[in-house]
Structure 1
């Protein structure tokens, strides 16, 4: 996550370099993803969900950028994404998560009546902007939205699906930067493309160097026939010699001085670094500081009980939870090995997962309430077969203050057997089939109804939660009062619609998590069986659910968005989805579009008059939705509440 002022301090010591066809390039995946997000975003940041880049645009732009990089000379050798971050970075992660939550909350407060609809940002990025180093970082001004919640994963998916970069893209069970550095070191040289100054502290060897993504210009005058010319390339080995730093410590002597005191005058900073003053005064602190920079995972293997191959189809957020869970019961967790297993997996604190920050209405319960039972089932599957079964998982959905840093606790059964989990999987399959079968019968093209299955599943959850809490359903309100008689949503920029969209996305992503956990569990079960440990075979119900989700679950690029939700009610009606919703929820009356417009206008005038009499500023927001008792009670509980 970078050492403060290290980039600024070392910038005068970067040297021009030509990256030719013989240059081996290793890419820091998260840094590259955020570089692409910047390329695709408006100059001052998106001021509404309609201005955010689509997931398809992000993925295609990432592949196009790498194609152009290779066309000009250097060859991509590996792309690494974080699959697990160390426990000592938890405080910083919580702080960053709070920052994004505050940004979303402030955006909601600044747009109480919603946002204006606009065209989608799906067209290809202008070539000059895509390949220029001068326009790759928007300034995220106040009142803007953060990057789309699934942006990094959409880019990772696009790279995995690419014929050229698929085999080169890896999600690793630790931080990506140690893999990037080790790849350059063991291959006798190369270049790490990153935005993280931490890479300067790693041992890259005599021929290893770092180039920052912001310094790469693929479309300017720097393009030459002999390769890609970059203005600044940083070789830690050469930099240490040039600055006269002790050979034993190299750039780490300078980095440690900055780590302890980032406000030292430059002259004093360099003098101390040359004499290794801070290292001599605090040798123990230096060793602790250097722990992340002295890892050689490609040479000695990962420090976790999970291999990169087992994470090949997982998202980074979920892989982190998987690594935590496996480390909990690995032999290393009882040893002195300073891994993440020495963190939450060993000290009794709960397992954690940071869920994507959705754009939803803050006057309502988090949209992540949708799919909560699905995620609970995923967590139960993840801990199957572990001698130490964690009692809870801590989900981070929204955080605005330090007091809310505990997240949302998802309690799990004290003991979970494979039979109980298999039963829950069978119940979920029955629920999905109860929705999918009639929708498929009413549609000639099964693919056209696939997304409607998940929409009905999510909407039924909303209706059921509202029935349990005795409050009005957001879904029923929107369908009855915000939809024209022809089935088109009148205004897709209202917070009611945006919250519904977030609920749909939460349900889809929860199912994606479940699918990935099923595959991960099957992989580990197969490995244990191959080792001959006598474990029972993977339950058939879990395999069947995995197959069902593999066939029908859409990719992130096909998730419902602000640009295609407008006609969702019409499509539901044509496919028989409204009658299905009524039957599932046990509603007495049919669901009808287009409430009396004149009556609504009269109510609005009356409400405005009452507001003026009371001297209020604006109409109150919708009431918070209560937490459901069980969203799948129709066919039995998926998990224990």
Structure 2
């Protein structure tokens, strides 16, 4: 997650570097050239979350034009820009060796994660301030809520798919470990591309260089690709300061945001830290955790590596090998959606779906085990507790019936998979809306299903509720796949898993397609309203 203010105070210790090369116009993967680079220190190890937010930030800068700014940046466009970034990095001479995404964050960072959710809610609250009577500001919203899993899907659909790893720890520790392993194997330098300041002080190899995404500029001119960035050599930085490790220095800089690097080095040299519990805790957070999946069945590990990071985190916490005390809840954090914070949380939609999924995975845990789901409640973070109950199979039968029924009603020849799942999501969103005394018109439903962009706060919130229901089905899908790998599925659950396997990528589910027309959705919207009225 990084050490606040560290990068800024180390900027003058970096070296501005320019890399140039020629793009691979054919998109071909030249194995001989890649093998040659691998042997000569021309590899890039990438911090995945940092890459996703860097690309999204660039997209928003390009599209931020006041009132015309995009309310919801396009997942498709961000995915395309991500693969273009990777193509450019290879064009300037660095093989994409690995792209790591956080699969588990330490329990010690629970408070920090709550603060981040609260920051997002503050952004939403500011964006919800009306410019006119019922209009929301389009240029102050937080980043898209499903940015990271959407970027992962985009990379997995490209030629870089084999590089992606969702790891059972924070990405930075795996980046550092892989750089050390590469240097040990080849004697050459690895380049880590990141915005995580932790990597500026972690042990990552004697030659490893850290390339910061902040300030990184890429240019394409004719047949040339150029990348300019600030790079750091942590081992050389430590050597120049005459210290074995930069972690004590970083510790003092984390305690005093005004302390310079030189002053922190001097303080670290004269301060004994062997018995300092605060330092021990700080140091431990920078280390790779003891938990690993080396003893876990390979088929289960494969499933864990394919999960969305937030879902993977929950799954890892429920593994027998995970270092969690008997009474410590397993956590899942559901980021606030692009919603109206004056209303109830959009995650109310799909709650029963998630409840059934949680109870399924809890059925294999001790009775004392529970799941705490962190979501928005008002403008604060709230944890809802879920415990195992035997009735979850009946709920699964219900979802099998709903999804198969819609598939029969809207067969593939008449509707895309994205349209079918959006229809289901709208049903759950409307039901949750109606339970709380809210009603949408047919026209509003059509606009939401067509992904036209909200014209009011009601539409904004209902759209977020649709997305919540869609992602709840995705949680169910991924936990069912894990259940299959760990314990097997009976016929009923296998049928449900097969139905959920038809879910397309997030970019297809959450963004408009050519098939989304008024003619297609008009009668269906009217039917949805009628269904809710009958309940």
Please, what TM-score do these two structures have when normalized by structure 2?
Answer: 0.84
What are the superposed Cα offsets for residues 429-469 of structure 1, whole Å, 9 maximum, x if unpaired? 112233332233xxx82444x34433443343345446656
Q: Is 1:317 the counterpart of 2:310 in the alignment?
A: yes
Task: Give distance in 1, aligned partners of 2:13 and 2:430.
Answer: 61
Q: Give the direction of change, closer, same or farther, for the CA distance of 1:260–1:461 in structure 2 (3 Å limit).
A: closer
Residue number in structure 2 paired with 1:558? 508
Q: Say which SS state the counterpart of residue 110 (structure 1) adopts.
A: coil
Q: Say which SS state the counterpart of residue 98 (structure 1) adopts.
A: helix
Q: Say which SS state the counterpart of residue 90 (structure 1) adopts.
A: helix
Verify the 8 A CA contact 2:102 2:169 in the aligned structure 1.
yes
Q: Give the direction of change, closer, same or farther, for the CA distance of 1:458–1:310 in structure 2 (3 Å limit).
A: closer
Residue number in structure 1 paired with 2:384? 409
Match 2:239 to one of 238, 241, 250:
241
Residue number in structure 1 paired with 2:30? none
Task: Give distance in 1, aligned partners of 2:12 and 2:451.
Answer: 56
Residue number in structure 2 paired with 1:26? 45
Verify the 8 A CA contact 2:451 2:510 in the aligned structure 1.
no
Verify the 8 A CA contact 1:101 1:398 in the aligned structure 2.
no
Residue number in structure 2 paired with 1:445? 413
Q: Say which SS state the counterpart of residue 264 (structure 1) adopts.
A: coil
Residue number in structure 2 paired with 1:571? 520
Q: Say which SS state the counterpart of residue 318 (structure 2) adopts.
A: helix
Deviation at 1:9, TM superposition (A): 2.9
Task: Give distance in 2, aligned partners of 1:357 and 1:185.
Answer: 37
Residue number in structure 1 paired with 2:142? 146
Q: Is 1:78 the counterpart of 2:98 in the alignment?
A: yes
Correspondence list, 1:14-413, <5 A? 14-17=14-17, 21=37, 22=40, 23-42=42-61, 50-111=70-131, 113-115=133-135, 144-162=140-158, 164-188=159-183, 189-219=189-219, 230=228, 232-245=230-243, 247=244, 250-264=245-259, 267-273=262-268, 275-277=269-271, 279=273, 282-295=275-288, 301=292, 308-326=301-319, 330=320, 333=323, 341=324, 345-346=325-326, 348-388=327-367, 390-398=369-377, 400=379, 404-405=380-381, 407-413=382-388
Residue number in structure 2 paired with 1:458? 425
Q: How many residue pairs end up in the alignment?
A: 507
Verify the 8 A CA contact 1:211 1:234 in the aligned structure 2.
yes
Q: Say which SS state the counterpart of residue 105 (structure 1) adopts.
A: helix
Residue number in structure 2 paired with 1:505? 467
What are the superposed Cα offsets for residues 612-631 of structure 1, whole Å, 9 maximum, x if unpaired? xxxxxxxxxxxxxxxxxxxx
Verify the 8 A CA contact 1:182 1:296 in the aligned structure 2.
no
Task: Give distance in 1, aligned partners of 2:371 and 2:420.
Answer: 30
Task: Give distance in 2, aligned partners of 1:367 and 1:47.
Answer: 25
Task: Give distance in 2, aligned partners of 1:432 and 1:194.
Answer: 41
Q: Give the direction of change, closer, same or farther, for the CA distance of 1:16–1:377 in structure 2 (3 Å limit).
A: same
Q: Give the direction of change, closer, same or farther, for the CA distance of 1:331–1:434 in structure 2 (3 Å limit).
A: closer
Q: Give the direction of change, closer, same or farther, for the CA distance of 1:302–1:262 in structure 2 (3 Å limit).
A: farther
Verify the 8 A CA contact 1:81 1:170 in the aligned structure 2.
yes
Q: Say which SS state the counterpart of residue 167 (structure 1) adopts.
A: helix
Verify the 8 A CA contact 1:374 1:514 in the aligned structure 2.
yes
Task: Give distance in 1, aligned partners of 2:227 and 2:420.
Answer: 51
Task: Give distance in 2, aligned partners of 1:395 and 1:88.
Answer: 16
Deviation at 1:170, TM superposition (A): 0.6
Query: RMSD of aligned C-alpha atoms?
Result: 3.5
Q: Give the direction of change, closer, same or farther, for the CA distance of 1:319–1:359 in structure 2 (3 Å limit).
A: same
Q: Say which SS state the counterpart of residue 219 (structure 1) adopts.
A: strand
Deviation at 1:277, TM superposition (A): 1.7
Deviation at 1:65, TM superposition (A): 0.9
Deviation at 1:522, TM superposition (A): 1.2
Deviation at 1:428, TM superposition (A): 1.2
Q: Give the direction of change, closer, same or farther, for the CA distance of 1:230–1:581 in structure 2 (3 Å limit).
A: closer
Residue number in structure 1 paired with 2:26? none
Verify the 8 A CA contact 2:331 2:371 in the aligned structure 1.
no
Structure with max Cα Rg: 1
Q: Give the direction of change, closer, same or farther, for the CA distance of 1:398–1:56 in structure 2 (3 Å limit).
A: farther
Task: Give distance in 2, aligned partners of 1:194 and 1:255.
Answer: 17
Task: Give distance in 2, aligned partners of 1:218 and 1:192.
Answer: 17
Task: Give distance in 2, aligned partners of 1:107 and 1:565.
Answer: 30
Q: Give the direction of change, closer, same or farther, for the CA distance of 1:490–1:224 in structure 2 (3 Å limit).
A: closer
Deviation at 1:206, TM superposition (A): 1.1
Verify the 8 A CA contact 1:504 1:560 in the aligned structure 2.
no
Verify the 8 A CA contact 1:482 1:489 in the aligned structure 2.
no
Q: Is 1:474 the counterpart of 2:442 in the alignment?
A: no
Residue number in structure 2 paired with 1:596? none
Q: Say which SS state the counterpart of residue 129 (structure 2) adopts.
A: helix
What are the superposed Cα offsets for residues 178-224 of structure 1, whole Å, 9 maximum, x if unpaired? 00000000111301100111002221121112110124333179x99
Residue number in structure 2 paired with 1:338? none
Which piece of structure 1 moves more, 1-10 or 190-199?
1-10
Please, what TM-score do these two structures have when normalized by structure 1?
Answer: 0.71
Verify the 8 A CA contact 1:84 1:174 in the aligned structure 2.
yes
Verify the 8 A CA contact 1:171 1:316 in the aligned structure 2.
yes
Deviation at 1:89, TM superposition (A): 0.9
Verify the 8 A CA contact 2:10 2:261 in the aligned structure 1.
no
